[in-house]
């Protein structure tokens, strides 16, 4: 590979493989969702389709760009572009997780009394506001990144990492509180385990767990970056952490969502009477 080190070659191959994996995930999801786009659905359900597609698409593009920018000779431009393409998909998946989470939970909420659902509406509004603040902050960070000197790039990187940690912790804590509140509303929680609600809860827990794993990985990344002043693309240690973190916090939860779509389509094909209830995302 000529001018590339062995570690950089490892990064190029890893990002290229991840890009292909997420693209395949996108194609599978689009194929099994093709009929649902043509029929009338709830706005929240349609929003979950769109945000999931965008999240997976930007993940795939992001990995492809990460592999491509390694050829840049301008290290300053390289670091600025990498900061953008590595962090932006995280905000897209956070938005997708929020909408998909509430799309799934709405299935349970529809079975509850109207006075109970008001509480969840308030929580959802709070999360939407939080997400809006996060997006505005991210746009501000991007503007600053491309108008700041090289010596301040490290500081901006730290601020962005800290805010990403706050973002994922805030959303995951809200998700946990939401799930606990739903659980308490069932008269007999034990019977809940035998219903389709248990599947939905498992899916929601998967998303929440992915956010927690992402927080841990950002912390590890920040520690490694502070200890090693050289480019992390020359670190095989961080490459291993990167692979594990991406598979656990990105591919696994997004893959589970895609699997739920595939299973929902198969249930429809077999005329499952509970298909409408099991249409998760």
> What digits encode the pLDDT tens for the residues 243-274?
888 898 889 999 988 888 888 766 655 544 44
Q: Which of 73-77, 95-99, 188-192 has the highest mean pLDDT?
A: 95-99
Give pLDDT, residue 98: 82
Rounded to whole angstroms, the Cα distance separating 250 from 194 reads 29
Is residue 218's pLDDT more than 70? yes
- CA atoms lying within 13 Å on the CB side of residue 20: 5
Under 8 Å between Cβ of 130 and 170: yes
What are the chain's domains? 6-265 (1.20.1070)
Please give the residue that has the higher pLDDT: either 42 or 113: 42
Is residue 174's pLDDT more than 70? yes
Is residue 117's pLDDT more than 70? no
CB atoms closer than 10 angstroms to residue 125: 10
pLDDT in tens, 9-23: 888 889 899 999 999
Rounded to whole angstroms, the Cα distance separating 60 from 153 reads 25
- What does the chain look like in DSSP terms, one character per residue? -TTS-HHHHHHHHHHHHHHHHHHHHHHHHHHHHTTTTTS---HHHHHHHHHHHHHHHHHHHHHHHHHHGGG-S-HHHHHHHHHHHHHHHHHHHHHHHHHHHHHHHHHHHTTS-HHHHHHHHHHHHHHHHHHHHHHHHHHHHHHHHTTS-GGGHHHHHHHHHHHHHHHHHHHHHHHHHHHHHHHHHSS-HHHHTTSHHHHHHHHHHHHHHHHHHHHHHHHHHHHHHHH--S-GGG-HHHHHHHHHHHIIIIIHHHHHHHHHHHHHHHHHHTT-TTTTTT---
Give pLDDT, residue 115: 46
Is residue 120's pLDDT more than 60? no
Tell me the mean pLDDT in the region 202-225. 82
pLDDT bin (cut points 50, 70, 90) of residue 196 is low
Please give the residue that has the higher pLDDT: either 67 or 278: 67
Residue 199 is encoded by which pair of tokens? 């599947």
The closest of 226, 204, 106 to 157, measured between CA atoms, is 226
Tell me the mean pLDDT in the region 86-112. 75
Give pLDDT, residue 130: 61
Q: Which of 64-78, 120-134, 213-227 has the highest mean pLDDT?
A: 213-227
Under 8 Å between Cβ of 222 and 161: yes
pLDDT bin (cut points 50, 70, 90) of residue 6 is confident
Please give the residue that has the higher pLDDT: either 242 or 81: 242
Tell me the mean pLDDT in the region 36-45. 69
Give pLDDT, residue 278: 46
Please give the residue that has the higher pLDDT: either 235 or 214: 214
pLDDT bin (cut points 50, 70, 90) of residue 280 is very low
Q: How far is CA 83 from CA 154, 155, 260, in A?
A: 10, 12, 32
Residue 100 is encoded by which pair of tokens? 């998909």
Mean pLDDT of the chain: 73
Q: Which of 54-68, 145-159, 209-223 has the highest mean pLDDT?
A: 54-68
Rounded to whole angstroms, the Cα distance separating 256 from 84 reads 26
Is residue 185's pLDDT more than 90? no
């Amino acid at each position: 590979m000529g001018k590339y080190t062995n570690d950089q070659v490892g990064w190029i191959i890893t990002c290229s493989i991840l890009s292909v994996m997420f693209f395949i995930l996108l194609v599978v999801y689009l194929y099994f969702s093709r009929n649902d786009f043509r029929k009338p659905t709830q706005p929240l359900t349609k929003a979950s389709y769109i945000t999931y597609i965008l999240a997976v698409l930007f993940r795939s593009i992001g990995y492809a760009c990460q592999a491509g920018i390694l050829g840049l000779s301008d290290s300053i431009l390289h670091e600025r572009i990498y900061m953008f393409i590595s962090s932006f998909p995280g905000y897209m998946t956070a938005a997708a997780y929020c909408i998909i989470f509430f799309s799934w939970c709405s299935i349970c909420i529809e079975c509850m009394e109207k006075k109970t659902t008001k509480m969840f509406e308030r929580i959802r509004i709070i999360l939407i506001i939080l997400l809006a603040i996060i997006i505005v902050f991210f746009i501000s960070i991007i503007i600053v990144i491309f108008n700041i000197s090289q010596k301040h790039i490290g500081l901006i990187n730290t601020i962005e990492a800290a805010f990403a940690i706050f973002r994922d912790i805030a959303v995951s804590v809200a998700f946990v509180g939401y799930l606990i509140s739903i659980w308490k509303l069932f008269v007999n929680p034990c019977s809940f385990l035998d219903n389709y609600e248990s599947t939905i809860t498992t899916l929601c827990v998967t998303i929440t767990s992915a956010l927690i794993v992402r927080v841990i990985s950002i912390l590890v990344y920040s520690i490694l970056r502070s200890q090693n002043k050289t480019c992390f693309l020359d670190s095989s240690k961080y490459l291993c952490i990167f692979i594990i973190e991406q598979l656990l916090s990105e591919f696994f939860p997004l893959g589970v969502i895609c699997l739920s779509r595939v299973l929902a389509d198969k249930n429809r094909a077999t005329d499952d009477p509970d298909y409408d209830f099991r249409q998760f995302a």
